[in-house]
Amino acid sequence: MNCLRRCWAEIDLDSIKYNIEQYRGYLKGGTQLLCVVKANCYGHSDKLVVPYLEKLGVKWFAVSNLIEAEHLRALGVDGEIIILGYSPEENADDLIKYNIIQACTEYAYAKKLSDSAKTGKVRLHAAIDTGMTRIGLHGDAASDADEIQKIMALENVTVEGMFTHYAVADCADNESIAYTKAQTEKILAVDEELKKRGVELSCVHFLNSAGGIYHSNEKSALARLGIILYGLYPDPSNPLPFEPKPVMTLKAVISQVKYIEKGTTVSYGRTYTADKRIKLATVTAGYADGFPRALSGKGEVIIKGVRCPIVGRICMDQFMCDVSALDDVQEGDIATLFGSEITADDIAKITGTIGYEVVCGIAERVPRIIV
Ligand SMILES: *Cc1c(COP(=O)(O)O)cnc(C)c1O
């Protein structure tokens, strides 16, 4: 079947290329690019995006779990893949089989992986908790180094690197800047301590999207590029030195256009009443497609270049908008729900979340197509 012309997400690979080219300009020294492709490329489709990233020369990828990692291998990806999240120890041999690097939270976890692995050694990057307070070793430099050495002594694991994750690298206030600097210093202190003991890890990394721009540092072997790859902002209130181009455009077809009289109510709950005769269009996308119900009576969509207000509640598969401003609009015309003019970040602002959640929330039933 051809792509169903109801609601779909267009993926613009040229924008990916642009975002990567711009971003690379801010990396220092030998910092290499790692593309974070977890959650199906933040909802953009790993099947469409990751092979293209490999074509652009990207050698490192990060996902959240083994299912995502295996999927990349099935797509033919032969770059390095790091699982930033958790894999249960019963999957130790799958990590080996698919040649995946696993984030390691602590010694006890490494021990379980080592005890479970029967077919080789599990490759690890030790997570260092320098202030995110999520995962990783969380002592001082000496005790973290002790723990890493203990992990290294386990039979069926190898520690190839270590990493940390910033909590506020996207924030522009002085306190956040100081906090991020302190996080950097902490992981570098662990690295120093290990070097003093004659242990050299080949891959120490700590930059995320925002870090690579605002806290670029040649000591980070990798910059883990996520949200900016997809053309959105780590923090929309903090400008970037270049304007990233949104990669996903969500579109849907108009199924009906009609006039409604003054006093007519629209959609569930009758939250909207026409205060005059208006022209109303029904758009074939709803919250089951990931178009947030919180946009009920709030957002706008773009039809033929004109912003048309959403009226009444968003339904599961449809919603209505006021198209009185358009002379020529009919069934079969296309509405753009978000993309480069109204961005996922704009939607997030209205609905009280972040652009990340908007794009990750686009449902599986929405076909992704390359444009
Ligand atoms: C998700 C994630 C990233 C990417 O974050 P962005 O803000 O999208 O750049 C980087 N590193 C880790 C550990 C992550 O979990």
Domain that holds residue 218: 13-230
**pLDDT at residue 211 is higher than 90:** yes
Instruction: Establish if 20 belongs to a structural domain.
Output: yes
Instruction: Establish if 3 belongs to a structural domain.
Output: no
User: What pLDDT was estimated at residue 1?
Assistant: 55
Q: What is Dmax (Cα atoms) for the chain?
A: 80
Ligand 1 within 6 A of 208 CB? yes
Q: Does 267 lie in the same domain as 218?
A: no
> Which CATH number belongs to the domain containing residue 103 in this structure?
3.20.20.10
User: What pLDDT was estimated at residue 289?
Assistant: 98
Q: Does 84 lie in the same domain as 24?
A: yes
Could you say which of 195, 230, 265 is where a domain stops?
230
330-361 residue pLDDT tens? 999 999 999 999 999 999 999 999 999 999 99
**pLDDT at residue 314 is higher than 70:** yes
Could you say which of 202, 230, 258 is where a domain stops?
230
- Yes or no: say if 162 and 201 are a contact pair by the CB < 8 Å rule: yes
Instruction: Establish if 4 belongs to a structural domain.
Output: no
Instruction: Establish if 34 belongs to a structural domain.
Output: yes
Instruction: Establish if 348 belongs to a structural domain.
Output: no
User: What pLDDT was estimated at residue 307?
Assistant: 98
Q: Does 257 lie in the same domain as 126?
A: no
pLDDT confidence bin for 4, thresholds 50/70/90: confident
Share of the chain above pLDDT 90, in %: 99
User: What pLDDT was estimated at residue 2?
Assistant: 63
Kindly tell me the sign of the dihedral angle through the C-alpha atoms of 330, 311, 267, 276.
Answer: negative
Q: Does 199 lie in the same domain as 264?
A: no
Could you say which of 230, 265, 293 is where a domain stops?
230
> Which CATH number belongs to the domain containing residue 331 in this structure?
2.40.37.10
Q: Does 293 lie in the same domain as 222?
A: no
**Of residues 1 and 103, which shows the higher confidence score?**
103
Please state the rounded mean pLDDT for residues 218-238: 98
Instruction: Establish if 6 belongs to a structural domain.
Output: no
Our answer to whether residue 245 is catalytic in this structure is no
Q: Does 289 lie in the same domain as 192?
A: no
Ligand 1 within 6 A of 234 CB? yes
Q: For residue 20, what are the β-bridge partners?
A: none
Which of 42, 98, 268, 349 is labelled catalytic?
268
Q: Does 212 lie in the same domain as 81?
A: yes
User: What pLDDT was estimated at residue 3?
Assistant: 67
Instruction: Establish if 32 belongs to a structural domain.
Output: yes
What's the total number of domains in the chain?
2
Residue 361 Cα to ligand 1 middle (Å): 17
Q: What are phi and psi of 121, to 5 degrees?
A: -110, 135
Which of 23, 38, 245, 356 is labelled catalytic?
38
Q: Does 44 lie in the same domain as 106?
A: yes
Share of the chain above pLDDT 70, in %: 99
- Token pair belonging to 214: 């605002």
Our answer to whether residue 38 is catalytic in this structure is yes
Mutate to test the pocket of ligand 1, among 164, 224, 225 (most ligand atoms within 8 A of CB): 224
Q: Does 259 lie in the same domain as 149?
A: no
Instruction: Establish if 136 belongs to a structural domain.
Output: yes
- Yes or no: say if 186 and 155 are a contact pair by the CB < 8 Å rule: no
Q: Does 252 lie in the same domain as 225?
A: no
Residue with CA nearest ligand 1 atom 4: 226
- The overall average pLDDT reported for the chain is 97
Q: Does 221 lie in the same domain as 265?
A: no
H-type helices in the chain, by residue range?
A: 13-24, 38-42, 46-55, 66-74, 92-97, 107-116, 141-152, 174-196, 209-214, 344-351, 355-360
25-40 residue pLDDT tens? 999 999 999 999 999 9
Ligand 1 atom index nearest CA of 163: 13
| Closest C-alpha to 286, from 335, 331, 355, 232 | 335
- Report the alpha-carbon angle 82-88-93, nearest 5: 70
155-207 residue pLDDT tens? 999 999 999 999 999 999 999 999 999 999 999 999 999 999 999 999 999 99
Q: Does 222 lie in the same domain as 172?
A: yes
